[in-house]
Chain A
Amino acid sequence: MSLLNLLRIALKALQRNKLRAFLTMLGIIIGVASVIAMVAIGQGSKQSIQQQLSGMGSNMIIIRPNSNISAGARLDATAVQTLTLDDVKALQKQASHLSAVTPLASAKGQAIYGNNNWPTTIQGVNPNYLDVIRQWPLKDGIAFTDRDVQSQNKVCLLGQTVITNLFPNGENPIGKYIRFGKVPLLVIGTLSAKGESAFGQDQDDVILAPFTTVQRRVLSTIYLQNIYASAIDEKSTTAATDEISDILRTTHRLKSTDEDDFAVRTMQELINTFSSTSQLLTVLLAVISGISLLVGGIGIMNIMYVSVTERTKEIGLRMSIGARGIDILLQFLTEAILISITGGIIGVILGITSARLVTVFLSWPTLVTEYSILLSFLVCFITGVFFGYYPAQKASRLDPIEALRYE
């Protein structure tokens, strides 16, 4: 029998029992819709975490002093000061996988403007920290330059949170003098809003100033808290990490048996950690929704069995007017597949819609991927074939004489 006739026969059979066909479909619809929606939620949160982390600079490498043993006691990393400007210079000169290196000195303190004050952090960096490492554009004004760093100029850039708290009346901060502790600083620019980091930190609650200004005028030290660097591209972060280790071990004159007195962290590592966590979430959600798809499939099988028994006489008639066993088998199989595929289509539409609704009403990030749609369709088809086959086979093996006399 031709495929067209097969479809025609199956469609007509389903039309005769529209409500039942729809109720059977419902199991598949719910199953597919929940798979699509859940995977969309999982993928969405994964993507948004990745974006947030990339927003911090996906090629970024952070070098910090490591805890070290001093007279038998392990010291806290903040208490050890092993990184110096010489390290920065060595890295700038020798490293081939790095596009930018900057020292970073940071201090907590009170920022003051007029009657307003705000506890915040000042970070001293080189100019390339903004454009190369963090890829952080200015909102207004100009950035400080290498010349400002050389001459320890008292200039600064304000983050948006600092601006709201120091200039609550909406004054333009550019050109104003603020004080950080006792040091007066001229505001020459403002930073664009960056939002919360993946760890919940407010990235806009910061003042950026030339490195030397913070180190000499605010902190009065020669050590650095951190060195920030940027790999040429994402792929070379691992190579860059190894290179940094080699260079720093040399400049720190560490013996091969000594532990590193510094630690190198890349954003890539962080991204991977978070990605694998949300991947696990996605798989978990998909499995749970997969179970409902399975239940839907069993529903199809159940109804197909009932249908075969109920339509025994019809099967007998079809056989007596010339349907072969295979025709009957294919008819019932096609009915099952039609139910599951139609359910699948409705389910996909419903799933995408509910993912959208989740985004709109709960502001959760969602991402509907093509592969989850494709996979659902495939699963639907397989469900239809798998759960439709046995009832269909049962139908095809009926004896036409007995089937005709069945009451």
Chain B
Amino acid sequence: MSDQKILELKDIRREFRMGSEIVRALKGVSFDVAAGEFVTIMGSSGSGKTTLLNTLGCLDKPTEGTYLLDGVDIKKLGRNELARLRNQKIGFVFQAYNLLPRTSALENVELPLLYNPEFSAKERKDRAIKALKAVNLGDRLEHTPNQLSGGQQQRVAIARALVNEPVMILADEATGNLDSRTSYSIMALFQELNSHGKTIVFVTHEPDIASFSSRTIMLRDGKVMKDSINENRKSAKDLLAALPKTEDY
């Protein structure tokens, strides 16, 4: 694993104007994330977690401060350039999966590549199949979301996040809709991807989930309260194996 910095945040501030009041969601957040890290960002609601996530995901720009994503300063970019950055450098995983209904897993995974003119139809398909195989769904290519379980749907969403080979996977409460068993298997998948060198930033409010990551950043009141390396990182795969099998289905 290299020490190349994927994310560099320097004194990020974000203010919203709500009528006459100014709400300060982020009050100077600074941290770096190196390639290959598995970072969880934790915090209770109102801590600025969502605003930080939007900023990291290039959906929003900070009012002040600099944010470099893979060396690119996003402050200088316009709406369309941000869209391209999201397309090529970030893979989003959402709590609600956000798959297109009545659309096959394969087509859902191909979606980001459709917005990248560099890919031919064949390349798109090959890449999507590869990504689905990476999340162990190689046999569910033609299934539509309503034919898949919650865990499987989230796997499709992860495949979709992987397909563009982004520098970072940004997950927003990715296990929030899943039961504990399924969320362990999803976390096991994230850990597996991380072990292959993928940088993962995982936003959550569950301390349980944070214990699977290599580093935890705690937010409170718009500031970084704690930034610590997880010494005794748990393996989701082992936990999954330890669960009694009779609970299956």
Contacts and interface: CB of A to CB of B under 8 A. Distances in A.
Contacts of B54: 401
Interface in A283-330: 313-314, 316-327
Interface stretch (A1-9, A67-75, A187-195): A1-9
Interface string B100-123: 111100010001101111000000
Q: 10 closest pairs, A vs B, by CB?
A: A322-B87, A322-B115, A321-B112, A324-B83, A16-B102, A317-B98, A324-B80, A322-B86, A5-B114, A400-B59
Given A322-B83, A400-B59, A12 B107 contact: yes
Nearest to A322: B87
A323 B116 CA distance: 9
Contacts of A322: 83-84, 86-88, 112, 115-116, 164
Contacts of B94: 317, 404
B151 to A, nearest CB: 19
A319 B114 contact: no
Contact of B115 (A12, A16, A325, A327): A327
Contact of B57 (A12, A15, A320): A320
A320 to B, nearest CB: 5
B13 interface: no
B17 interface: no
Given A16-B100, A320-B92, A1 B117 contact: yes
Contacts of A16: 100-103
Interface residues of B, number: 27
Interface of A: 1-2, 5, 8-9, 12, 15-16, 313-314, 316-327, 400-401, 404
Chain A contact surface mostly: helix
Nearest to A319: B83
B59 A321 contact: no
B132 to A, nearest CB: 16
B79 interface: yes
26 contacts: A1-B114, A1-B115, A1-B117, A9-B114, A12-B103, A12-B107, A16-B100, A16-B103, A314-B98, A314-B100, A318-B115, A320-B57, A320-B86, A321-B164, A322-B84, A323-B83, A323-B87, A324-B80, A324-B83, A324-B84, A324-B115, A325-B79, A325-B83, A326-B80, A400-B59, A401-B54
B160 interface: yes
B64 interface: no
A324 B82 CA distance: 9
Contacts of B112: 321-322
Contacts of B80: 324-326
Nearest to A5: B114
Given A313-B98, A404-B98, A320 B59 contact: yes
Contacts of B87: 321-323
Contact of A321 (B101, B102, B107, B111): B111
Contacts of A324: 79-80, 83-84, 115
